[in-house]
Amino acid sequence: MISRLEELKSKCETALQNADTVSGIEDVRISYLGKKGVLTDILKGLKDLSNEEKASVGQAANQIKTQITDAIDAKRHALERDEMNAKLVSDTVDVSAPGVGRGSGASHPLHRMEKLIVECLGRIGFSTVSGPEIETEFNNFEALNIPASHPARDMHDTFYMKDGGVLRTHTSPVQIRAMQTMAPPLRILAPGKVFRCDADVSHSPVFHQIEGLLVDKHVSFAELKGTLEFFLRSLFGDSKKVRFRPSYFPFTVPSCEVDLECVMCKGKGCGICKQTGWLEVMGAGMVHRNVFKAVGYDPEEVTGFAFGLGVDRLAMLYYQISDIRLLYENDARFISQFKGAA
Amino acid sequence: MKFSLNWIREFVDINVPVDELAERLTLSGLEVEGVETLGASLSGIVVGRIESIEKHPDADKLVVCQVTDGKTRHQIVTGAQNIKEGDVVPVSLPGAVLANGMEIKASELRGVPSNGMLCSETELGVSDEAAGIWILPQDTPLGVDFVEYARLRDAVLDIGILPNRGDCQSVLGIARDISAIYELDLKEVEILDSRSGSGMTAGGSGMTASEKSITCRNEAPDLCAMYTARTISNVWQFATPLWMQRRLQVSGVRPISFIVDVTNYVLLELGQPLHAFDASKVKGAIVVRSAEDGEALVTLDEQERKLVAGQCVIADDAGAVALAGVMGGARTEINDHTTDVVLEAAWFDPVATRATATAHVLRTDSAVRFEKGLDIAGVERASNRVAHLIKSLAGAEVGDICQASGHTKDSDASSFDGKIDVDLNALNRLIGVQYTADQAWGTLRRLGYGVAVGVDSRSGSGMTAGSGITVVGSVTAAGSEIVDHSSEMFACVTVPTWRRHDVLGWQEVAEDIMRVVGMDSIASCLPRESVVQVSKSDDERVLSQLHSFFIANGFSQVINFSMVGQEDAVKCDWKTTDSRTISNPLTPAESVMRERILPSLLRVVGHDASRQVNRGAIFEFGSVFPSDGVQDTHLAGVVYGDWFESSYRPEDKLAGADVLRLKGIVCAALEALGVIQIRVDKRCDDGDLHPGQAGTIASLKHALGRFGKVHPARLKAYGISVPVSYFEINVSSVLKSVRPQPKYKAFGVLPHTRRDIAIVVPKDLAYSSIESVLYKKKPKLCKRLFLFDRFESVEHLGADKLSLAFAFVYQDDETTLTDEVVNLAHTEFVAAITAALPIEIR
Ligand SMILES: [Zn+2]
């Protein structure tokens, strides 16, 4: 009986060796271990044996069953692996070929610059507000201490609408609207398009400004200075020199202009800075009492500072763009250069 | 404006290097835009007289001159044409250095020794071009150092004057600021003491005092706060001294004739515009009055001006002789034969002068100065300065001044007596510094302020500390602190007359101190108060996400002007209204505010196409201006050319599917923001879009925008030959549609059952209307439904039908569904939609 089992085992091993497909293996399994399989028959016949024989033959038969089962499984796994490998070989893709899709777009440099500025000042608590591009003369001028007869209106070459509206010449009217609707303290930025009816090689009739306003009790010029130094050095580098010069704006007093050490020549003097070593980048000052009065704030109670800058000019310096017209031509070959996160 | 440093030095002893001075002035608000040094290298130039001129023996074009410097005779060979014997000329002797640095040496010219050179203005650095040798006035002393005599060595500062600093449009004004910055004394100019004569008068009328005097009357006191006139006689054709010519030249003013030169000189020096009439042409008394409507005046530029009431004129018995403060009249113009002049010095209203100048398009130097506001107290001094110069230089007779005053109507200035209370502690808080009383008050005094320390404007005197009877004080902005007006930190300052149009509050006084002391010394700090956030930062985040979505999907951002051309309005078929049309456009192509972004984008596509860029995807965030509504922000984008199909793999080239691909991107963008229940409808009734490939997008409550293929007529109008798909959505409506914040809901975990159906529908039935019926009729147990196949076949379905296959997913949260339950629900559902729609089940 035992020898029959051994014979059976070697027969099965031979059959397995000859089987070279998964289904061939299955046939072997069925002929030995299936319901009517040879080994199954032997195991069924055990009940007719004596108790003694039952024990020894039963043990041997079970042992052989386990061995055969393991051999079948091993062979099947090997075959499955071979089949998968064969399939992988036939199923290759040249991944070095171009990816399918249209890639990433690019952000306009003015948008990128504006975002950098807003993020930088956002870190010290400034948040953005917006307002309309067609404004009233009151918001654009009168409320900013620029009455109709004021010579400063000449500095703002204004586009007028046929019904008397004006295209805002700066984003300051957004600050007027903010102060009219919100009580102090305020810490806001007003980015947006502004319009001046003069244009030449270096001026565009439409450009972008960001103006900032901080109103609180006891705000000082020293804080204005600190804020703008922080801002310019964050953008252009900690070692950059920043200089403040007295200036005049109708809506601030005292007023100043802010010069940044030339980013091209590092202050040595070049064509960009007209050999001065300095770039005039911002105007600023302490909010004029008349502006506070125009929006219903009490100048005895609050003080504040305001500042403004041209995003176009800053973007041109930052990205070294030589011609302002490139900014508004939207040429695909220009815009596509501005990809990436910074 | 250009300022001669030599001239400035007549008022203030400033001896720092010019570059250092320029830097300091720039940092105190007088921006030096350029420094030109003149004659720095000049030396050894003397004045000589040509005694004889003889022909050169061997050269036709040269002559041999004998020149004396008063002591020695020099032989000089020259090729100059414009000289004659007796001419007085500048001579550079051997060893002399010219403006260009060239050193003169004794030499021979064609065999004749030449010991020097006769000089032109160019060689002495006076002008860029010269017709010949510089012929000097006959009375120029021989032998003097000509560089010193004619003040050829100088530095010219080109200073940008701020609009509020009319007082700095003069040498005196610049010198005054320098005196304050460097703590130097400011010298007075020499003037004729008008008070030594008789005939001073004030008020609305004048009177004659001496024989050759003039009477003036002010009938327009609102337009002219101060008018003065005086006669200056026996000014024979006197030549303007070289030094004066030179100063005019370096200041950018061309010397013309003595009288004009002197008035220009005083204008540059003191900032007061002056006008001289030919006295022989003035008929009777001078009257300052408003013009009559239709009155005519021929101005110095030979233009006849039609005047209107309200414009101020100077008139005599025969009519207007000048447009006040703007330009003189031709009838009384002085010329070479003039011997007597009437000199006018006046203060005209800035606003009225500006209006008149603007109306006649005559922004003369004089008008611009009046506009900026002049020192009313300087009017008479300027007249006296002119009188002094003419009298001392030319020996003319100067008549008494006749004065006719009016009043200033400037609302701020009229009620303003120049007195301002300054609390130095408050001032220090505003700037963030610790100026001492000495520093602050001293600076102000040097700028011309009167400073009464420990005094306020109401009482005239402060409380003495500790007297305890009356408290003269005020409460500060902080609301808690009593300010002691008798302290050395408090003063009543009197603004100098030349600053009263500008300095109206203590903040301006603070600015004056700060700019003179310097902004560098202010220690900067970040804002001290706590941070406040006031904005809708959610909106910002949402917009930023929208932006990133399109970038990530391959779209590039463009930024266009908010205005387009009238032509674009016509091309895109919208009506322009006055409120959206610019009355003074620079170009017709930028003259109306865009109603939508589409035309801007089509312009970009046209631009790209003309540069061989034939495919792409762009988007823009920007303002739009509907003719009948408020301005708003839109997001619009276009895909043009075969951008969607641009793949090298045949299986990716699904031509014709681009509108739906664009829709897919736009809807995904909205979904990414949290806009729920996006609804797209097939109809879109406007001429911008292909009538068969256009749709509207909406959220549950708001219309969001539209999309589709751009109408071929529009593309043709913009010269675009590739197909363009487009979307435009209203950003504020999108923001309103954003779900505030997702909330978790338990989802079913029990097994679901799927049932599919295919329906045959008419082709002209919009998918959206089928879908909306499906959603309306779907039983509760149906959790989800979706389209998984769409099929057209003329053979099987006919030309006007198509087949849609939907999957319905049934699931219950509580129990595992049995087939019976699902079948019942599904059958009812199918019956309901079949009844509601013109469809057949396949
Ligand atoms: Zn530079």
CA-nearest residue to A154 within chain B is B163
In a domain? residue B748:
no
Give the distance (Å) from ligand 1 centre to CA of residue A199: 24
In a domain? residue B525:
no
Q: Are B159 and B31 in contact (CB under 8 A)?
A: yes
Of A124, A218, A330, the CB nearest to B560: A330
Q: Is the CB of A246 less than 8 angstroms away from the CB of B27? A: yes
Window 387-446 of B: residues touching A by CB (8 A cutoff) are: 429-433
C-alpha dist (Å) from residue B201 to A58, B207, B402: 148, 7, 6
End-to-end Cα spacing for chain A: 83
Using DSSP bridges, classify how beta strands B490-494 and B482-484 pair: parallel, antiparallel or unpaired.
unpaired
Band of the pLDDT at A153, cuts 50, 70, 90? confident
SS3 B603: helix
B193-222 average pLDDT score: 59
Q: Model confidence over B747-792: pLDDT tens digits? A: 878 889 999 999 999 988 888 889 989 999 999 999 999 999 998 8
ipTM: 0.86
One domain, residues B558 and B684 = yes
One domain, residues B263 and B391 = yes
CA distance B516 to chain A (A): 9
One domain, residues B226 and B363 = yes
Chain B residues whose beta carbon lies within 8 Å of the beta carbon of residue A103: 554
Q: Model confidence over B35-94: pLDDT tens digits? A: 988 888 889 899 999 999 999 998 888 999 999 998 999 999 999 889 999 999 999 999
Topology annotation, domain A109-338:
BirA Bifunctional Protein; domain 2 (3.30.930)
Band of the pLDDT at B200, cuts 50, 70, 90? very low
Q: Is the CB of A223 less than 8 angstroms away from the CB of B528? A: yes
Residue B234 structural domain: 194-405
One domain, residues B765 and B669 = no
pLDDT of residue B463: 42
Q: Which residue has the tokens 């920007």?
A: B622
Rounded distance between C-alpha atoms, residue B224 and residue B202, angstroms: 14
One domain, residues B831 and B697 = no
* pLDDT above 90 (res A109): yes
Chain B residues whose beta carbon lies within 8 Å of the beta carbon of residue A131: none
pLDDT of residue B206: 37
One domain, residues B247 and B300 = yes
Last residue of a domain, one of B737, B767, B802: B737
* CATH code of the domain in which B765 resides: 3.30.70.380
Q: Are B725 and B659 in contact (CB under 8 A)?
A: yes
* Kind and range of the H or E run holding B275: strand B274-278
B577-596 average pLDDT score: 93
CA-nearest residue to B550 within chain A is A105
Q: How many helices (H) and strands (E) does chain A have?
A: 12, 9
CA-nearest residue to A153 within chain B is B163
B15-44 average pLDDT score: 92
In a domain? residue B727:
yes
pLDDT of residue B462: 43
Q: Are B645 and B659 in contact (CB under 8 A)?
A: no
pLDDT of residue B537: 58
One domain, residues B695 and B812 = no
One domain, residues B26 and B88 = no
Instruction: Kindly report the pTM of this predicted structure.
Output: 0.85
One domain, residues B549 and B501 = no
One domain, residues B176 and B224 = no
Using DSSP bridges, classify how beta strands B43-55 and B63-68 pair: parallel, antiparallel or unpaired.
antiparallel
pLDDT of residue A80: 87
Of A100, A107, A226, the CB nearest to B526: A226
pLDDT of residue B566: 92
A184-202 average pLDDT score: 88
Q: Calculate the average pLDDT of chain B.
A: 88
Band of the pLDDT at B195, cuts 50, 70, 90? low
A7-21 average pLDDT score: 84
B389 φ, ψ to 5°? Answer: -65, -45
A207 φ, ψ to 5°? Answer: -150, 180
Query: Which spans in B123-210 are helix H?
Result: 146-149, 171-181
Task: Give the closest residue to A221 by CA, choosing from B162, B511, B702.
Answer: B511
B29 touches chain A (CB under 8 A): yes
Contacts A–B by Cβ distance under 8 A: 260
Q: Calculate the average pLDDT of chain A.
A: 90
Task: Give the closest residue to B546 by CA, choosing from B616, B623, B636.
Answer: B636
Chain B residues whose beta carbon lies within 8 Å of the beta carbon of residue A106: 551, 556-557
Torsion, Cα B338 B341 B345 B351, to 10 degrees, reads -60
B311-326 average pLDDT score: 94
CA distance B561 to chain A (A): 6
* CATH code of the domain in which B356 resides: 3.50.40.10
Chain A residues whose beta carbon lies within 8 Å of the beta carbon of residue B358: none
pLDDT of residue A154: 64
End-to-end Cα spacing for chain B: 90
* pLDDT above 60 (res B655): no
Q: Model confidence over B350-395: pLDDT tens digits? A: 889 999 998 999 989 999 899 888 888 899 999 999 999 999 998 8
Give the distance (Å) from ligand 1 centre to CA of residue A261: 8
pLDDT of residue B262: 95
SS3 B233: strand
Q: Model confidence over B469-506: pLDDT tens digits? A: 333 445 444 445 678 888 999 999 999 999 988 899 99
A231-245 average pLDDT score: 95
Task: Give the closest residue to B435 by CA, choosing from B330, B352, B517.
Answer: B517
Band of the pLDDT at B158, cuts 50, 70, 90? very high
Q: Model confidence over B668-722: pLDDT tens digits? A: 999 999 898 898 988 767 889 999 899 999 998 999 999 999 999 999 999 999 9
* pLDDT above 70 (res A155): no
Rounded distance between C-alpha atoms, residue B705 and residue B359, angstroms: 48
Band of the pLDDT at B21, cuts 50, 70, 90? very high
Chain A residues whose beta carbon lies within 8 Å of the beta carbon of residue B537: 127
One domain, residues B589 and B464 = no
**Residue spans per domain, chain A:** 2-90, 109-338
One domain, residues B147 and B164 = no
Rounded distance between C-alpha atoms, residue A130 and residue B736, angstroms: 17
Count of structural domains within chain B: 6
* pLDDT above 70 (res B199): no
